[in-house]
Chain A
Amino acid sequence: MPHQKDALSQHVIEVRGLHKSFGDNPILKGIDLQVSAGEVVSIIGASGSGKSTFLRCINLLEWPTSGEILFQGENVLERGYNIPAYREKVGMVFQQFNLFSNMNVLQNCMVGQIKVGRKSKEEARLTAMDYLEKVGLAQYIHAKPRQLSGGQQQRVAIARALCMEPEALLFDEPTSALDPEMVGEVLKVITDLAHTGLTLMVVTHEMAFARDVSDRVLFMDDGVIAEEGEPAGIFTNPKSERLREFLTRFLS
């Protein structure tokens, strides 16, 4: 069927039979996933179910034990695959922000563009200013990370990732380390991104975000994707007992 090939080439990220063990301890037990360009995928699941490990495998901060990860049709685990260039295209935003503490806000957003993207300083600065403006922090370019609130730091981290002009962004619980009053400002930035057509994978405990913003929700349980589907189905009509338990525990 010719149309199947077309559909295949539209997947930004495809994961096949992904396994990951730490020592003898299997954490991911066979994950298959296809993410289309512009899709917003939320990943929910109990603590310890392997959500972070899955995300970290996708941009190779953890090396999978077996399986395949395809980016635009190419297996990134192949020997000789240009991993730094891949990571430039698939950025990541961390729970703990991880802004470079030896740099100010502007430098955080410029360094990757200059060293990895080989842009000129001037070009990098203007791009950085543009994205910092979008996350509402253009005034803070001279601040050091430790001088900012958690919410501000996370918004800078998002700007830093956007400066690389990625195809997809991975978020690992971007609001979990934040004080409640700062969760909103960060979720708003991510929601705005979701509407720009950027491909997003978001591990989150913010069920309202998963329900309202994502195109698809994955429920991870014990190292596999136990259930997936459109948010409406997942939240109003969960099929598995585990997901029902999880949701009642979470929404109560």
Chain B
Amino acid sequence: MTTWDWIERFLQLYWPQFLKGAGWTLLLAIIGTVGGFVIGLLIGVVRTTPLYSGGQKRRSLRSVLLKIVNAILAVYIEVLRGTPMMVQAVLVFYGLMEFAGIDITSSAAGMLVITLNTGAYMAEIVRGGIQSVDPGQTEASKAIGMTHWQTMLNVVLPQTIRNILPATGNEFIVNLKDSSVLSVIMVSELFYSTQVIKSIYYRTYEPFLIAATIYLFFTFTSSRLLRLLEKRMDGPSNYTLISSATTPELLKQNRRYQAGATRRR
């Protein structure tokens, strides 16, 4: 039988298994990236919160707590970025069972690990993204009376999210591929499924050629879709002028409105 014959046979017999593996890979990448994005945003916001408010460098319960939390977060980031995800998977899956008596499924452990791992990378990406927002934006926001949180929510984070979109997309693509290491704890994603199929016929090459094609399809499509998304977030490249005929009408409305409204404050 030629390679093509084998491929055809594998696809005919095991397409549901390939499909299921591909589905898990996609799911893991989505959960890991979305969960990691949320973790990263939260950590990034905490780590860029000023220790002191109002300029007084006076130590308060708040500043002490914040320092402790920051230290813990720094350790989390260092550990998860400094060890292989494969090792993290083993430690979490067997560790939870061994030390905490928690018996979670390998899929649940896999989702947990890929989320925590992505979160550590995203935390650094978000922090960089927040710091790269022009300080003038924050100053302008404060100058109209916004608090730190209002500034974050309305000005800094929207710009940060736009800025880190390419890096987040990259994390997603990395997750599509690197979720394969979760096979070490028997998460039935694409790599693990392929290994199972391989061992039935002892043919390695063809099943993995199929797997590679599926991975490539995923990564290629995602990068195209992400680019589209970035374009859409930038909005139209030109604006429409409001015809001057409508502005006097608006102003008239406005005056009528102001005449009728009681002034607050």
> Of A96, A119, A126, which is in contact with the most chain B CB atoms at under 10 Å from its CB?
A126
A132 to chain B, nearest CB (A): 9
| The one of A64, A104, A140, A164 that contacts B145, using a Cβ cutoff of 8 Å | A164
Given contacts A139-B244, A141-B242, contact A94 B250 (CB under 8 A): no
Contact A98 B146 (CB under 8 A): no
Q: Which of A38-46, A55-63, A244-252 contacts B (4 or more CB under 8 A)?
A: A55-63
Whole-angstrom distance between the alpha carbons of A169 and B26 in the complex?
A: 54
Whether A126 and B253, one on each chain, are in contact in the complex, defined by CB atoms closer than 8 angstroms, is yes
CA distance A59 to B250 in the complex (A): 33
Q: Are A138 and B235 in contact (CB under 8 A)?
A: no
Residue B254 CB within 8 A of the other chain = yes
Q: Decide: B254 and A129 in contact? CB cutoff 8 A.
A: yes
Do the beta carbons of B250 and A100 come within 8 Å of each other? no
Q: Is the CB of A112 within 8 A of B144?
A: yes
Interface residues of B in 142-162 (CB under 8 A from A): 142-147, 150, 154-155, 158-159, 162
Q: Is A115 a contact partner of B150 (Cβ separation < 8 A)?
A: yes
A85 to B147, CA, bound (A): 9
What range describes how many residues of A lie at the interface? 35 or more
* B239 contacts chain A at the CB level, 8 A cutoff: yes
Chain A residue nearest to B263 (CB atoms) is: A165
Interface string of B225-261 (1 = CB under 8 A from A): 0000000000100111111100100110110011001
Expressed in whole angstroms, the Cα–Cα distance for A111 and B258 within the complex equals 19
Find the B residue at minimum CB distance from A132. Answer: B247
Which of B142, B235, B258 is packed against the most chain A CB atoms within 10 Å?
A: B142
Q: Which residues of A contact B261 (CB under 8 A)?
A: 123
Which of A79, A122, A140, A142 interacts with B54 by CB under 8 Å? A79
Q: How far is the CA of A161 from the CA of B144 in the complex (A)?
A: 7
- Name the B residues within 8 Å of A77 (CB-CB): 55
A157 to B240, CA, bound (A): 20
Interface residue ranges of A169-202 to B (CB < 8 Å):
none
| Residues of chain A from 102 to 145 with CB closer than 8 A to chain B in the complex | 102, 104, 111-112, 115-117, 119, 122-123, 126-127, 129-130, 133, 138-144
CB contacts under 8 Å to B, within A151-175, are 157, 160-161, 164
User: Of the candidates B55, B142, B145, B251, which one forms a contact with A129 in the assembled complex, judged by CB atoms under 8 Å apart?
Assistant: B251
Query: Is the pair A138, B242 in contact by a Cβ cutoff of 8 Å?
Result: yes
Contacts A98-B136, A126-B250 known; A59 to B143 CB distance under 8 Å? yes
User: Smallest CB–CB gap between B156 and chain A, Å?
Assistant: 9
Partner of B254, one of A87, A98, A126: A126
B48 in the interface (beta carbon within 8 A):
no
The reply to whether B140 and A94 form a contact with Cβ atoms under 8 Å apart is yes
The distance from the CB of B264 to the nearest CB of chain A, in whole angstroms, is 8
Contacting pair A112 B145 (CB below 8 A): yes
The answer to the question of A236 belonging to the interface, with a C-beta cut-off of 8 Å to chain B, is: no
Write out, one digit per residue, whether chain B residues 117-157 have a CB within 8 A of any chain A CB (1) or not (0). Answer: 00000000000000000101101111111110010001100
In contact, B145 and A139 (Cβ under 8 angstroms): no
The 24 sampled A-B contact pairs (Cβ below 8 Å) are A59-B143, A63-B56, A64-B55, A79-B54, A79-B56, A84-B145, A88-B145, A94-B140, A112-B146, A116-B144, A116-B145, A126-B254, A126-B258, A129-B247, A133-B247, A138-B247, A140-B239, A140-B241, A142-B240, A144-B235, A144-B239, A147-B238, A157-B140, A164-B145
A-B complex: 9 closest residue pairs judged by Cβ atoms: A63-B55, A88-B145, A98-B140, A112-B144, A98-B136, A92-B143, A143-B239, A116-B145, A126-B254
In the complex, given contacts A87-B143, A94-B143, A126-B254, what are 17 additional A-B residue pairs having Cβ atoms less than 8 angstroms apart?
A59-B143, A64-B55, A92-B143, A94-B136, A94-B140, A98-B137, A100-B140, A102-B155, A112-B144, A115-B146, A119-B264, A123-B257, A129-B247, A139-B242, A140-B241, A161-B144, A164-B145
- List residues of chain A with CB under 8 Å of any chain B CB: 59-61, 63-64, 77, 79, 83-88, 91-92, 94, 96, 98-102, 104, 111-112, 115-117, 119, 122-123, 126-127, 129-130, 133, 138-144, 147, 157, 160-161, 164
